[in-house]
Amino acid sequence: MLVIVTENVPPRLRGRLAIWLLEVRAGVYVGKVSRRVRESIWEHVEAGYEDGSVAMAWAASNESGYDLRTLGPNRRIPVEFDGLKLVSFLPEDTAHDIPPNASG
């Protein structure tokens, strides 16, 4: 299972995501794809997100059962803690100081 949540991305990226995934709400895409397709989708996301932000989560065979990545300014940053992927929630004034490629 793959879930992608987008915010303020260009319409062309939303259209590209809709080729592979079902848009269940505005900016929320779900689907079941192979690892190869997931990586290809992420390459398209990296190339087209511009000033927006993106979070992608998928099922994985690890302790938590999922993995995730993010792109763009976001107050929620993936961090690894004792082998678990967690999300750190930053104060509002620091969201724009985050590097655009802070992915886990």
User: Residues near 72 by Cβ (< 8 Å), separated by ≥ 6?
Assistant: 7, 49, 51, 52, 53, 54, 100
Evaluate whether residue 26 is within a structural domain.
yes
Confidence of residue 42 (pLDDT cuts 50, 70, 90): very high
How many other C-beta atoms lie within 10 A of the C-beta of residue 90? 13
Evaluate whether residue 85 is within a structural domain.
yes
Q: Is the pLDDT of residue 75 over 80?
A: yes
User: Residues near 18 by Cβ (< 8 Å), separated by ≥ 6?
Assistant: 29
Q: How much is the average pLDDT of 28-43?
A: 97
pLDDT in tens, 4-15: 999 999 999 999
Report how many domains make up the chain. Answer: 1
pTM metric for this prediction: 0.83
pLDDT in tens, 16-28: 999 999 999 999 9
What CATH number does the domain containing 55 carry? 3.30.70.240
For residues 89 and 102, which has the higher predicted lDDT (pLDDT)?
A: 89
